[in-house]
Amino acid sequence: MRKLVVLTLIAFGFCSCYAQENSLAISLQNDSIVIASLYKSALTSSGGYDNLRELTSKAPHRLAGSEGCANGIKILFNQLKALNPDTVYLQPAMALPWLRGEKEVVYIELPKGKRILLHASALGGSVGTGLKGLAAEVVEVKSFEELKALGEANVKGKIVFYNLAMDPALFNPGEGYGRAAFQRTAGASEAAKYGAIATLVRSLTNRIDTFPHTGVMRYADTTNMIPSVAISTFDAELLSTRLKSDPTQRVFIRTTCKSLPAVVSYNVIAELKGGEKPEEIITIGGHLDSWDLGEGAHDDGVGCMHAMEVIRLFKQNGIQPKRTIRVVLFLDEETHQVGAKAYAASVKDKGEKIYVGIESDSGGGAPKGFGMSASPAQMESFRQLMGILAPYDLYQLRNGGGGVDVGFLKPLGVPTMNVLPSPHRYFYYHHSAFDTFKEIDMREVQLGCAAHAALVYLIDKYDTLGS
Ligand SMILES: [Zn+2]
């Protein structure tokens, strides 16, 4: 008798498991029709592309707290309104503006008053040299260890030139960027310890060109702040070659950049209310600020469009999400993340339940998969849904995902995700004058919008990240 009961239970368990798998398969079959429809809508609409053109042409330089940023906020607010979500509003945050000032002048001094001009841009947050500029011999290093070995005896009174290239052997250029970024973010204070008077930093890009790439730097010691300037990779190679034959080469630097008092600015937020669980919120966003050299098209106007178009695509396809979709266009990812901090603080204060934080901040390349910072069970649950996305080239599932802004939600226990675009050309544009609308491909934008909509649709429907 006991044997019969056990056998019955095993058979029942098997059947119920089989039935569950079968119903998932049938459901996914239906979903493949919905996802095909989302892709069709995205690939036949230029909405996101047109909005990006408007943003980048009317508000190309959007450093937090600047006039360009304020214009960008107005444009994005109106674009979101036009998508007709349930609500659009501004969330205040105090921006800490930094002003580049006059065009930087940087050159290698040659005999008889001649010079070789270098393509240079001050790093965000740097102090200026003063109107007269400064000139000194240059000492080249590729690491803080090399700098330490040279010591004060070889560094004092000189310009330290950081020349570590992004490693081309790494498949993901983002990893090369991560390994080389220390020279930009922390190089000035480290060099100042040994008496350097300024730093030149090789631009963080994985090709040789004449675009200087700016980016944020920070002073560890605010009592000893020295100017820090990026030079193009072409110029870094040139300077390095010349230093090998003549280590007494001198470089002149003149920058007039400075930090300004804090001003009120805003995150721009829109919501599409959920049908079944409106109190659970899917946060999806990009950052509305950009560096001041290009138009902030890849970084990160296109990320804003990816998030915004989810609203259009859901509405166009008559999809009612279970949870509330909240599009957050974050202020100030590039320097102090004041927008992301204000958003996370508000979520915490209100005790809101954020189901997931999704961020697009890796450019407008064709999507290849997903990054995910979540529990192994949540990742496995999502992996089971991914087969349905294979026809759209979305194969990869990387452990680790999200973005700088939604990263502030992690301490609240929120899983974070991002769509992974092809990474190989992103650093050509990143933080440089090359980051323009002209370098945006409409079809890749459309594919990015569709991938974000498909992601939100699936994780909402299947409760992938919890109940
Ligand atoms: Zn960015």
Which residue, 215, 236, 259, sits at the end of a domain?
259
Counting beta carbons within 10 angstroms of the beta carbon of residue 163, is it exposed (0 to 12), middle (13 to 18) or buried (19 or more)? buried
Position 117: which residue type? Answer: L
* Whether residue 209 sits in one domain with residue 307: no
On whether both 81 and 185 belong to a single domain, the answer is no
Confidence of residue 28 (pLDDT cuts 50, 70, 90): confident
Structural domain includes residue 266 = yes
Structural domain that includes position 108: 101-259
For residue 29, is it within any domain?
no
- Last residue of one domain, picked from the residues 229, 259, 289: 259
What are the DSSP calls for 426-461, one per residue? HHHHTTSTT-SGGG--HHHHHHHHHHHHHHHHHHHH
Residues 253, 265: one domain? no
Any domain includes 296:
yes
pLDDT tens by residue, 306-354? 999 999 999 999 999 999 999 999 999 999 999 999 999 999 999 999 9
List, in sequence order, every residue forming a beta bridge with 330; answer none if it has no partner: 287
Taking the centre of ligand 1 as the mean of its atom positions, its distance from the CA of residue 407, in whole angstroms, is: 13
Spacing, Cα 332 to ligand 1 middle (Å): 9
CA–centroid distance, residue 301 to ligand 1 (Å): 9
109 within a domain of the structure (yes/no): yes
Q: Are residues 108 and 93 in the same domain?
A: no
- Domain annotation covers residue 175: yes
ipTM above 0.85, yes or no: yes
| Tens digits of residue pLDDT in 380-426 | 999 999 999 999 999 999 999 999 999 999 999 999 999 999 999 99
Indicate whether 1 belongs to any domain.
no
As a whole number of angstroms, the distance between CA 401 and CA 393 comes to 18
Residues with CB under 5 A from ligand 1 (ion): 299-300, 361
Give me the helices (H) in 186-232, please.
187-192
Task: Clarify whether residues 319 and 375 are in a common domain.
Answer: yes
Task: Assign residue 44 the CATH number of its domain.
Answer: 3.40.630.10
Q: Which residue, of 205, 233, 259, is where some domain finishes?
A: 259
**Same domain (yes/no): 253, 279:** no
Domain count, the chain: 2
Asked whether residue 227 falls in the same domain as residue 369, the answer is no
DSSP string, 228-284: EEEE-HHHHHHHHHHHHH-TT-EEEEE---EE---EEEEEEEEEE--SSEEEEEEEE
Q: How far is the CA of 76 from the centre of ligand 1 (A)?
A: 17
- Span from the CA of 278 to the centroid of ligand 1 (angstroms): 29
